[in-house]
Amino acid sequence: MVDIHCHILFGMDDGADSTETSLAMAEMAIADGVTHVIATPHANNEYDFIPELVRSRRDEIQSRIGDRLAIATGCDFHLSFENLEALRADPQRFTLNQGDYLLVEFADFAIPASLDQTLHQLQLLGLHPIITHPERNPLIRSQWDRLWAWLRQGCYVQVTAQSIRGGFGRRAQQAAERLLDANAVHFVASDAHNVTTRPLRLKPAFDALAESKGESFARALLEENPRAALESRPLPYRPEPADWKGLENKTESSPPRKRFWFF
């Protein structure tokens, strides 16, 4: 499997906190059946993103781990004005493996109306935006029509592996299920931060998807599409999304009504 989103490099952000943690995360990935990871430190108001430093950390961990796991670099790109300015000047500074795919993270508290235009501008730069973990974002969960507009625009969606097994709570799990059912997911990634609460593990999600939707589906989301993004190729699995209307108000609504109690 190929993991396109993880915080395996130490001292960059709220991910790995030491060389030992980075190495333990790498060992965890190897044991899990992961062959390639893209280290994607945050670039947001809290954490500076310095590609030269990211690359030197990558080299350090890569040399310690040898050829058992290939580590590439990218960025967990927060859509802020400053980041967008820097991106326009040099897109490959932020993209996955310095190619054409870009992880895009939204704030939990506000998604401006101008976002549709911003995503379009990224596409005009030749980039493929990948919207990260919408199932964990309460704002998107209450406005599926907006996510669908971005999908129709040609954006892709990455769901977090842990969400599929309920690691981010029932609402995120339900939202992940509904997105998967609606053919609205292109990638599953770990978004790992450590070896305990946010592990670098994909196999549990792979097994759950293989069981519910078949092995070729699991392969598409955890091997084939991620590998294509790593290598800047078109995605082999690009399904036509089903109508979003079936998802509306189901994942962020009040608890399910007991419909038949008065009978």
- Binding residues for Fe ion, per CB under 5 A? 76, 191
* Tokens at 210, concatenated: 């293989």
Give residue for tokens 């300015």: 85
Cβ at position 186, least distance to Fe ion in Å: 16
72 strand-pairing partners:
38
The Cα–Cα gap between 33 and 160 comes to 17
First and final C-alpha spacing in the chain: 51
CA dihedral 7, 12, 17, 21 (to 10 degrees): 50
Tokens of 182: 């609606």
Quote the CA–CA distance of 2 and 9 in Å, as a whole number. 16
Determine phi and psi for 169, rounding to 5 degrees: 95, 170
Closest approach of Fe ion to the CB of residue 38, in Å: 11
Residues 34 and 201: their CA atoms lie apart, in Å, by: 8
CB closest to Fe ion, residue no: 76
Find the shortest distance in angstroms from Cβ 41 to Fe ion.
9
Closer by beta carbon to Fe ion, 131 or else 247: 131
Q: How far is the CB of 157 from Fe ion (least distance, A)?
A: 14
Among residues 192, 164, 191, 162, the alpha carbon closest in space to that of 177 is found at 164
Shortest Cβ distance from residue 198 to Fe ion (Å)?
9
Nearer to Fe ion, 135 or 191 (CB): 191
By beta-carbon proximity to Fe ion, the closer residue of 132 and 174 is 132
- Identify the sign of the CA torsion 204, 206, 210, 213: positive
- Tell me whether residue 32 or residue 191 sits nearer to Fe ion (CB atom): 191
Q: What is the DSSP letter of 224?
A: I
Q: What minimum distance in Å lies between the beta carbon of 242 and Fe ion?
A: 27
* Residue 204, burial from CB neighbour count under 10 angstroms (0-12, 13-18, 19+): middle
Nearer of residues 132 and 225 to Fe ion, judged by Cβ:
132
Least distance to Fe ion from the beta carbon of 48, Å? 16
128 vs 136, beta carbon nearer Fe ion:
136
In the complex with Fe ion, the residue whose CB is nearer, 47 or 217, is 47
Q: How far apart are CA 62 and CA 40, in angstroms?
A: 15
